[in-house]
Chain A
């Protein structure tokens, strides 16, 4: 029995968690359904950020550029008569392409230079959308066609679409944590010269990592556009979205599979609860909490959690 649990325990736990999260949309009320949809959205965005920050070591504060691009791509394609699923697939491709085209130039920059360049990219895209007008709606934004589904069915559909994004993003990160490609990214992060001397094309793996990050984030942006129905540049290319995801990543733990999930769930649920109880003070309380986490557990919640679980395991083995 113990050997069986050791072998299949983790997959069983993951499968059970997935089933519970999948079924949740049928018993949650409208309010909590929206809260958990938002949580899943941030799980996907944070996992996307985890690929480029946690694995590749490139600190991107402008992943909102992919979110906004995805939102506008999906909106324009749906307006052009594309079915939703095709528009969402296409907006992921657009996000990936954007990263693959700009990556070779931007990923030459290191440290804070890259971080600033991503913020600049976000601003540049926002300006472009504003000034193109016509297709993008310019400063007036775009309204997507109203869904014919009842509100609860629409919320459930959006929840399931966000869940798909979160699941795919987590699977990508899981694959990176075990695959040859993942080793190439992590090696490039730790020592560029060392990795190149071992035969790793460091530029290509970083660009590919940013492509994955861009695809996931753009997909979520597409679903978000469908969810809120009306999008405009200010909210679609909001840098605070990237900053919020970065905080979640810091809180959960970079470079791990579970860390971003913990960070997103912890921060988003807590933010909702604090907001509902202390409306005026909620930003202050959250700020203090973020400072405390960064000061006392800079590697994220995942590290003390792992220590606690391994201690429990050792105690179990002794007992």
Chain B
């Protein structure tokens, strides 16, 4: 494994009985890089993320994080390697307040803070994600957008070096999405490597250095956003011709605007 890689996956295969959810996918993420993982529903993006975070075992292949082979470790050991993740279907601790939810992440992850320090860390993270005024509420008492922010807050409280974000933009309005994009950019500037699974192309284009496209469990494209989004295979498999037409209209409108 190259020294500047935060994540290296080789030939990852995930099977659920006879169904192959992920088929021999290899990918890398450089330190400080933001990589987008896109594809149609059922492409295997979340299964790949679940296999990286060890919630689903790999049928074949290997995963290295910062040079350490984590293919066979227990899922609870992953935060100690500096990896944090969010869930597509939010997984809050329903009977604990938002503050306690975030503090737990700080208590048992990389730095394993004592309770009081973890609470302080939770306060700092909640302020950053704009949830301070709801810190004493239960997850069921806040909106879906807030629960998504809670997922991100918990991941941040773990002071990750590699962050796996699974559809954190889904259900957010434009303002909330802009705030999330701003937060991801900040994290990247701080040197955090990030893998973003997302359907919202605006967000993918705004934050990613590189995009990987999956279809039917296989990787079909990997490259910089411009080349990938214009790749005919990707257009046919995921984006559709309407997306390309809309993008060219937007671009020509902005060019004519500049000329005028």
A residues with a Cβ closer than 8 A to B are 179-180, 183-184, 186-187, 189-191, 193-202, 255
Contact = CB atoms under 8 A, between A and B. Distances in A.
A300 to B, nearest CB: 14
Contacts of B108: 180, 184, 198-200
Given A180-B114, A194-B92, A255-B95, A199 B158 contact: yes
B96 A187 contact: yes
Contacts of B104: 183-184, 187, 195, 198, 200
Contact of B79 (A179, A193, A197, A255): A197
B122 to A, nearest CB: 11
A190 B95 contact: yes
A196 B100 contact: no
Contacts of A201: 74, 76
Interface stretch (B83-91, B125-133, B240-248): B83-91
Contacts of B144: none
- Chain A contact surface mostly: helix
Contacts of B115: 179-180, 183
A256 to B, nearest CB: 11
B76 A200 contact: yes
A197 B94 contact: no
A202 B91 CA distance: 15
Contacts of B92: 190-191, 194
Contacts of B158: 198-199
A199 B78 CA distance: 7
Choose among A193, A194, A201, A202 the residue with the greatest number of B CB atoms under 10 Å from its CB: A194
Interface of B: 53, 55, 74-80, 84-85, 87, 91-96, 100, 103-105, 107-110, 112, 114-115, 118, 154, 158
Contacts of A186: 93, 95-96
Contacts of B118: 180
Contacts of B154: 194, 198
Given A189-B95, A196-B75, A197-B53, 5 more contacts: A183-B107, A186-B95, A197-B84, A198-B109, A199-B80
A242 to B, nearest CB: 24
B97 to A, nearest CB: 11
A198 to B, nearest CB: 5
Contact of A183 (B77, B87, B96, B110): B96
Nearest to A182: B115
A185 B105 CA distance: 13
A192 to B, nearest CB: 9
A194 B108 CA distance: 12
A195 B104 CA distance: 9
Contacts of A180: 107-108, 114-115, 118
Given A186-B96, A199-B109, A199-B158, A193 B76 contact: no
Contacts of B103: 183
Contacts of A197: 53, 55, 75, 78-79, 84-85, 87, 91
A183 B114 CA distance: 12
B214 to A, nearest CB: 22
Contact of A191 (B53, B77, B91, B107): B91
Choose among B75, B87, B100 the residue with the greatest number of A CB atoms under 10 Å from its CB: B75
A102 B254 CA distance: 68
A193 B85 CA distance: 11
A191 B108 CA distance: 15
Nearest to B93: A190
B95 A196 contact: no
Nearest to A198: B105
A197 B110 CA distance: 12
30 contacts: A180-B108, A180-B118, A183-B103, A183-B104, A184-B108, A186-B93, A186-B95, A190-B92, A193-B55, A194-B87, A194-B91, A194-B92, A194-B93, A194-B154, A195-B76, A195-B93, A195-B104, A196-B74, A196-B75, A197-B79, A198-B79, A198-B104, A198-B158, A199-B76, A199-B80, A199-B108, A199-B109, A199-B110, A199-B112, A201-B76
A59 to B, nearest CB: 16
A189 B92 CA distance: 11
Contacts of A199: 76-80, 105, 108-110, 112, 158
Q: 5 closest pairs, A vs B, by CB?
A: A194-B91, A199-B108, A199-B79, A190-B93, A191-B91
A202 B55 CA distance: 13
Contacts of A189: 95
Contacts of A196: 55, 74-76
Contacts of B84: 197
Nearest to A202: B76
A177 B53 CA distance: 29
A198 B84 CA distance: 7
B197 to A, nearest CB: 15
Contacts of B95: 186, 189-190, 255
A193 B80 CA distance: 16
Choose among B53, B84, B104 the residue with the greatest number of A CB atoms under 10 Å from its CB: B104
B93 to A, nearest CB: 4
Contacts of A191: 91-94
B78 A183 contact: no
Nearest to B94: A190
